[in-house]
Amino acid sequence: MKILDGKAIAEQIKEEIKLQVAQYIDDGNRPPHLAAVIVGNNPASETYIKNKEKNSKLVGFTSTVYHLPADTSESELLNVVQFLNEDSEVDGFIVQLPLPQHINEERIINNINPEKDVDGFHPINIGKMVLDLDTFLPATPSGIIELLKRYNIQTAGKHAVVIGRSNIVGTPLSILLSRKNEHANCTVTICHSYTPDIKEFSLQADILIAAIGRPAFVTADMVKEGAVVIDVGINAIPDETKKSGFRSVGDVDFDEVSKKASWITPVPGGVGPMTIVSLLMNTLKAYKRRFNIT
């Protein structure tokens, strides 16, 4: 078993971004600016946002985080979205999901300017992704493709089985993996809560992607010998030995599955850091588009 070290690859990519940003600034441009909006205080969302802010700064971006209280109304949030859409100092922004129950996520996403939608969640950007047009790809799926690419994992003709069909991971990833492209060309199966026997499919996977949000859902008996296993899950489970009282575990039973896999992503340090660098790459793209930098 070999580790797909998302943390190390993310460090490499951040260095590449940092060099580009330094060059743009040398050329007299202002730095790229990524803004983020978080509503309420979901601990997982707070951790993501802190990480995004830290990494933005690391590569030389400026960044702003808008922390809004949990009882923010939908129209107040729409006003913030409108403000960011119009702010010429902001190249891209994200609204951290999930939002509180009383806010309609779809309405919020639909109101983000697609040119600033560095999450790639707006229907226009999703449509462009499906049609293979130039767009902002959703960060987690594009981070996974980049990780496979940088490790030279052969994907063409392989059977990829994606467990989970969310709008932000499973569905877009299934599209990207099936794309006619050197780093895709997979035959793709999506499994979900209505799949009667997930194991029947997961056992056929050359590349198995777990994106369900259930700790250690994928066990060794569900994995083919030599499979490439990608774990998207970040589940907080109680752990008294940790200062925070929690530790992160993936959707894959790493200890057992790693004995069968040819390659596997750890949690933490696998897909998570790749998601963040994909967001940085999208922000750089938004910035370059805005200033017509080629």
Task: Give the footprint of ligand GUN on this chain (CB under 6 A).
Answer: 94-97, 119, 139-140, 168, 275
Among candidate residues 30, 14, 12, the one with its CA nearest the CA of residue 276: 14
Please say which residue, 3 or 97, places its beta carbon nearer to ligand GUN: 97
d(CA 40, CA 284): 28
> How does strand 235-238 pair with strand 246-249?
antiparallel
Please report, to the nearest 10 degrees, the dihedral formed by the alpha carbons of residues 136, 139, 140, 144 taken in order: 70
**Three-state DSSP class for residue 43:** helix
Please say which residue, 99 or 252, places its beta carbon nearer to ligand GUN: 99
**Residue 96 annotated as catalytic:** yes
d(CA 172, CA 57): 28
**Residue 231 annotated as catalytic:** no
Q: Which of 14, 91, 96, 158 is labelled catalytic?
A: 96
User: Smallest gap, in angstroms, from Cβ of residue 13 to ligand GUN?
Assistant: 16
**Residue 243 annotated as catalytic:** no
Please say which residue, 140 or 174, places its beta carbon nearer to ligand GUN: 140
User: Smallest gap, in angstroms, from Cβ of residue 121 to ligand GUN?
Assistant: 7
DSSP 38: E
Please say which residue, 96 or 258, places its beta carbon nearer to ligand GUN: 96
Among candidate residues 220, 116, 258, 230, the one with its CA nearest the CA of residue 174: 230
User: Smallest gap, in angstroms, from Cβ of residue 25 to ligand GUN?
Assistant: 27
Q: Which of 14, 91, 117, 119 is labelled catalytic?
A: 119
Active site residues: 52, 96, 119
